[in-house]
């Protein structure tokens, strides 16, 4: 297998896995907020997801995941590195980028403390989804070998 094919495989698998993980996370969020007033909760969720800061975070996550996925493909398929360890390594990098982005946005916006708990809970769930996506990605990359 050549470098280009390994990089392409890693990028494709990582983007698909991140998209799947974020979709499951969104479905989990919809189910968890569906209480007495589902319509208003869905409108609130859609408004929150279309926020410019959230869109920028998603763009940043997919960009980072694409480039790290290319490297993960090379690491696993060409260098023979352990897939789970590679997945955890890139999950920590991607999660770290997401947390740094959150800290920068919080420092810029000066959000009230009442909002912090929900933001930290959402960020923790996002980090968990990223870790699951990367471990899944690494195993899928290895399976293509």
For 60-90, write each residue's pLDDT tens digit: 999 999 999 999 999 999 999 999 999 999 9
Q: Rounded to whole angstroms, how far apart are CA atoms 18 and 15?
A: 5
Which of 10-19, 20-29, 109-118 tops mean pLDDT? 10-19
Q: Rounded to whole angstroms, how far apart are CA atoms 49 and 72?
A: 29
pLDDT, residue 98, reads 94
pLDDT, residue 26, reads 85
- CB-based contact 89:46 (threshold 8 Å): no
Confidence bin at 3 (pLDDT 50/70/90): very high
Which tokens is 130 given? 């990223």
Tell whether the model's pLDDT for residue 50 goes beyond 90.
Answer: no
Confidence bin at 107 (pLDDT 50/70/90): confident
Tell whether the model's pLDDT for residue 37 goes beyond 80.
Answer: no
Please name the residue ranges forming H helices in the chain. 3-33, 38-49, 52-77, 83-109, 113-143
For 9-19, write each residue's pLDDT tens digit: 999 999 999 99
pLDDT, residue 47, reads 81
How much of the chain, in percent, has pLDDT values that exceed 90? Answer: 61
Who's near 30: CB < 8 A, 6+ residues apart?
41, 42, 45
Which tokens is 42 given? 């869905």
């Amino acid at each position: 297998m050549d470098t280009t094919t390994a990089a392409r495989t890693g990028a494709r698998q990582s983007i698909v896995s991140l998209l799947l993980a974020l979709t499951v996370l969104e479905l989990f969020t919809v189910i968890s907020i569906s209480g007495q007033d589902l319509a208003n909760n869905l409108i609130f969720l859609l408004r929150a997801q279309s926020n410019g800061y959230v869109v920028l975070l998603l763009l940043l996550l997919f960009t980072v995941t694409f480039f790290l996925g290319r490297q993960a493909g090379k690491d696993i398929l060409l260098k023979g590195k352990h897939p789970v360890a590679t997945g955890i390594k890139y999950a920590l990098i991607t999660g770290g980028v997401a947390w740094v982005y959150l800290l920068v946005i919080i420092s810029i916006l000066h959000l009230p403390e009442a909002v912090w708990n929900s933001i930290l809970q959402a960020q923790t769930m996002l980090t968990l989804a990223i870790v699951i996506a990367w471990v899944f990605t690494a195993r899928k990359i290895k399976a293509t070998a």
